[in-house]
Structure 1
Amino acid sequence: MSGGSADDGDTAGDDPGDERTGPTAQSTPGVPATKRNRVKSAVLWGAVGGFAFLVLAQGYLLLGGELPFRYAWLFGLAMAVGIGATGITYLAEHRIRAERSKRRT
């Protein structure tokens, strides 16, 4: 078998299906996040915050607690929590990412 086989000179990063080590890895430390990715991440964290608030409120009601307002207010408050979480995440994400990249070096 003197012809070149696929095993000759094979390195770990050559597999195009390997997202972590390939040359086009998108989660490389030190690469700035695009505005679109920051907005998407912030909106998703806002949704998590809003739904987490609703889960906590539902758990409180299941344990026998009473809320001083109706469900419409509860959903409005959950939306406000989600909007707040979105804004805080958007403003703080680049700082957290920068701090993490400093620690890795």
Structure 2
Amino acid sequence: MAVSFHVRSNSFPSRSHPQAAHVREQLARLRSSEEGETSTSSSSSICQRIDNIQELHESLDKLICLPVTQQALAQEQNKKTVEQLLDGSLRILDL
């Protein structure tokens, strides 16, 4: 006797959105500038890091404004995650 059933799944895209990839690149660039930093930073390296932070902020803003991100953030089950993200962003702003 053959048993058949229908399985339904929420599948996620196999590739991330290009904006998400851009955010990851910005984070990697910022991390590499931290690792390569010496104890005495020049004003040009500080300015470069500030520019990297600004680009990261702009990229995150674009990512958050995407409709798919807005839908995910609006779901009740993601409330705790959203609260954690907001807390983290406030800590970044404080810095």
Instruction: Give me the TM-score of the superposition, normalised by structure 2.
Output: 0.38
Larger radius of gyration: 1
Higher helix share: 2
Instruction: Give me the TM-score of the superposition, normalised by structure 1.
Output: 0.35
User: Higher relative CO (CA 8 A, sep ≥ 6), structure 1 or 2?
Assistant: 1
